[in-house]
Amino acid sequence: MIIDVHGHYTTAPKALEAWRNRQIAGIQDPAQMPKVADLKISDDELRESIESNQLAKMRERGSDLTIFSPRASFMAHHIGDFQVSLTWAAICNELCYRVSQLFPDHFIGAAMLPQSPGVDPKTCIPELEKCVKEYGFVAINLNPDPSGGHWTSPPLTDRHWYPIYEKMVELGIPAMIHVSTSCNACFHTTGAHYINADTTAVMQLIQGDLFKDFPALKFVIPHGGGAAPYHWGRYRGLAQEMKKPLLTQHLLGNVFFDTCVYHQPGIDLLTKVIPVDNILFASEMIGAVKGIDPETSHNYDDTKRYIEATLNLSAQDRYQVYEGNARRVYSRLDAALKRKGK
């Protein structure tokens, strides 16, 4: 089985974006604020948006199951207040739940949280619990910077975030550390802000001792871990100067990297530097980089090709990357698969 741990509903029917635009207009002019019930998307529309996009590509490229969360750049936690984020998160999560019900063998949900700058993260817990307990979601996306590129929240190792971590450990779910749209013109959303955030998260975790407090906590750093694997020597050296344990002990029992790296040399480096037990297959397809690479004539985000082609992985290693590690990190996914006899 090939499990893609990083997919977003980037192809949702246009009515979703139209509703969001009305919600944003309603922040200034409450008379324009739409009701949740104003958004009407039929099952047929959902089916069509998936069958002709993500599912078609999964079949073509040969992956079986995608962990599916709301479109990351649309989370935009910096817009409006907590109530705006809560309503928006609930709508987006419910759509992913409906997709998982329409295609139960191919999609399972991961939740966006109703984060809002300056608001206590524990306010996210009711939505998180609903997604896990009622919708069967197996993970969350945690935004370390709900300000959208201004980094006004404390580091991930701060007690500020502990209510979320306590709930994650209780429920047995990992978090993908995933920012959203940048509203800072210095940082391009997917080219700079995403990769910056991935790298920043790794460094914060090196500086702190979070996993002493939460030995069972699991984080997935997307986009191949940002710059961290490429600069692994720098991070090992910094940890050493800070008198931290070796990164294999300090980080790698709890931190995992996905394979959303869009060329062969990147995957070759990732699989050479990072132990195979810490690498999870993912493509984030129909996402930031949708084009075809003229050097290979294949889509940049067809990441399975790079996993297949790298000389660094054995057949057993590939099983770990495609399935074994995902079952270990996403224990609720493993349990859901086992209930289906898989």
**Of 4, 330, 6, nearest in space to 198 by CA:** 6
| Residue number, nearest CB to Zn ion | 72
Q: Does 205 bind Zn ion (CB under 5 A)?
A: no
Q: Does 16 bind Zn ion (CB under 5 A)?
A: no
Please identify, among the stretches 12-20, 120-128, 277-285, 328-336, the one whose residues bind Zn ion according to the rule CB under 5 A. Answer: 277-285
Structure tokens at 68: 């599916």
CB of 36 to Zn ion, least distance (A): 25
Contacts of 209 (CB under 8 A, 6+ apart): 157, 244
Structure tokens at 143: 């935004």
CB of 6 to Zn ion, least distance (A): 6
Residues recorded for the chain: 342
Q: Which of 65, 72, 108, 138 binds Zn ion (CB under 5 A)?
A: 72
CB of 89 to Zn ion, least distance (A): 16
Contacts of 231 (CB under 8 A, 6+ apart): none
Helix (H, G, I), strand (E, B), or coil: what is residue 332?
A: helix
Q: Does 179 bind Zn ion (CB under 5 A)?
A: no
Tokens 């919708």 correspond to 135
Interstrand relation of 255-258 and 65-70 (parallel, antiparallel or unpaired): unpaired
Number of other CB atoms surrounding residue 109 within 10 Å: 27
CB of 220 to Zn ion, least distance (A): 10
Q: Does 285 bind Zn ion (CB under 5 A)?
A: no
Give the count of residues interacting with Zn ion (CB under 5 A): 2
Q: Does 203 bind Zn ion (CB under 5 A)?
A: no
Q: How far apart are the C-alpha atoms of 28 and 142, rounded to whole Å?
A: 27
Please identify, among the stretches 16-24, 25-33, 34-42, 69-77, the one whose residues bind Zn ion according to the rule CB under 5 A. Answer: 69-77
Largest CA distance in the chain: 60
Tokens 């709930």 correspond to 167
Q: Which is nearer to Zn ion, 156 or 288 (CB)?
A: 288
Q: Nearest 5 degrees, angle CA 40-CA 99-CA 291?
A: 100
Catalytic residue numbers read 284
Q: Which is nearer to Zn ion, 229 or 287 (CB)?
A: 287
CB of 340 to Zn ion, least distance (A): 26
Contacts of 38 (CB under 8 A, 6+ apart): 19, 22
Q: Which is nearer to Zn ion, 94 or 284 (CB)?
A: 284
Q: For residue 167, which amino acid is it?
A: K
Q: Which is nearer to Zn ion, 227 or 247 (CB)?
A: 227
CB of 28 to Zn ion, least distance (A): 29
Please provide the distance, in angstroms rounded to a whole number, between the alpha carbons at the two ends of the chain.
Answer: 9
Binding site for Zn ion (CB under 5 A): 72, 284
